[in-house]
Amino acid sequence: MVKWCSILLLFLFICCGPTWSEYGDNMTASQITSCLYVSGLDAALNHMLISNRNITLIINASDLQVSYPHPGNVEILHVPIEDRPHQPLAPYLDTVADKIHNNQSGSTLVHCTQGRSRSPALVMAYLMKYENMRLCQACDVMIDKRPFVRPNAGFWRQLIDYEIKLFGRNTVRMVKTPSGVLPEVQHHNPDTDAYCLNT
């Protein structure tokens, strides 16, 4: 009986669990710029990864208090937010962007629990403020480097407001879809104005 239960659990994990590539992506740090990485918690706790990528600043964008197994020369900034649409991300956008920009001693790692919503949203704000990217461009870069990112709808609304604050207008709007309210990214092309839905 125990043997069959073990076989059934293994079968369910293989068929219904995450793919190996998804599992691996969640455990690695995605390089966004030459000195900026995004990850989940597992990568942030990996001493070798932190050392090999010369991480000198870790931004913890989660509601977890984390004890990092790294030397004392790594600065930690805790941004205590939950991955919920009503959470106030906007008060942290400038602070985090400035902190990333001012880290001249090494690389920065921005992480949340899975590296899918909170940390990518904060990094997109940095890309807008200091890399002069519009939100649609920052979104493209993020999805290119970490394809499974999905900031929640509330974070998207706050990023849209931040883009308006920085540039005076926005390149992303929220639209109703059968899957709920999602961001629609407008790519400005001289020939066409096509829309691409980030689902």
By annotation, the residues acting in catalysis are 112
DSSP track, 84-121: STTS--HHHHHHHHHHHHH--SSEEEEE-SSSSSHHHH
Alpha helices in 39-174 (DSSP H): 41-44, 47-52, 90-102, 118-130, 135-145, 153-167
Q: How far apart are CA 17 and CA 15, in angstroms?
A: 6
Task: Give dist(CA 6, CA 199) in Å, integer.
Answer: 35
State the residue for tokens 């920052």: 138
Q: Which residues contact residue 28 at a Cβ distance below 8 angstroms, ignoring those fewer than 6 apart?
A: 39, 43, 49
What whole-number distance in Å separates Cα of residue 35 and Cα of residue 52?
12
In sequence order, the 6+-apart residues with CB closer than 8 A to the CB of 24 are none
Q: Count of CB atoms within 10 A of residue 114's CB?
A: 19
